[in-house]
Amino acid sequence: MSSEKNKVINPVIEAINKRLSVRSYEPKPIARNVISTIIEAGNQAPFMSEKHGKPEDLIQPWRFVVVEDSEFKQKLVQATEPIRSRFIEGMKETVPEMHKQVMKFYKEIGEPKDMVYYSAPVILFVIGPAGSDISCALACENIMIAATSFGLGSCYVGFGAMVTDDADIVEALELTEDERIFGPIVLGYPKSYSSAPDTIRPNKKEPRIKWI
């Protein structure tokens, strides 16, 4: 049985505990050196390499694309919004309460109503070869924790990976046939709305632990 007074806290644990999936952002740019530092944190994640041999010969499977350009962001929204809309429409029958929460949030956010990337100042694509799911997921987690440590919000947006039918986007991201998008992750300074935190933060139960 856990006890709050017995928990050990340090800056890393604080960042992990504070991390949220943020879905509203201030229109404030993020300094390039901060973005680079966050990416480097992702680059420090453990990974499985396709190559084998000496440690110095191992190669990380991921690469990163940082999107700041407003026109390209709009192209991403146009490519993913129809997919998101169809999915949300289907929630009416399957999970009606969640559908109500999503629609309430939709009414609260300002214009333009970007429900995929949430008008975040940075969209960070983590890209890697098919089969590198675990490695790239570890890199994504490092990125989101590092972002929290800088006072930034982040959100892993699965719909953002559904852009591969758009030839212009595929070309800009330089996606090859054997690569996949993991994320992307949006980054920015959080902006609060009246009920947004209640609608997007899941209830976390105490961890189930067996000590042997």
Q: Which two tokens stand for residue 206?
A: 């105490």
What pLDDT is attached to residue 49? 65
Distance, CA of 154 to CA of 172 (rounded, Å) = 23
Distance, CA of 121 to CA of 118 (rounded, Å) = 9
Is residue 182 within 8 Å of 62, Cβ to Cβ? yes
* For residue 124, pLDDT beyond 70: yes
Q: What is the pairing mode between strands 122-129 and 153-156?
A: unpaired
**What is the per-residue pLDDT across 126-149, written as a single tens digit (0 to 9) for each?**
999 988 999 999 999 999 999 999
**What is the per-residue pLDDT across 86-119, written as a single tens digit (0 to 9) for each?**
887 888 788 888 878 777 777 777 667 788 899 9
Q: How confident is the model at residue 204 (pLDDT cuts 50, 70, 90)?
A: confident
**What is the per-residue pLDDT across 162-203, written as a single tens digit (0 to 9) for each?**
999 999 999 999 999 999 999 899 999 998 644 444 345 567
Q: What is the pairing mode between strands 122-129 and 179-188?
A: antiparallel
What pLDDT is attached to residue 209? 87
What pLDDT is attached to residue 48? 77
What pLDDT is attached to residue 178? 93
Lowest mean pLDDT among 3-7, 17-21, 33-37, 207-211: 3-7
**What is the per-residue pLDDT across 51-80, written as a single tens digit (0 to 9) for each?**
555 555 567 899 999 999 999 999 999 999
Question: Domain 19-46+59-195 falls in which CATH fold?
Answer: NADH Oxidase (3.40.109)
Distance, CA of 207 to CA of 17 (rounded, Å) = 14
- Minimal CA–CA distance to 19: which of 147, 130, 164, 110? 147
What pLDDT is attached to residue 110? 67
What pLDDT is attached to residue 57? 53
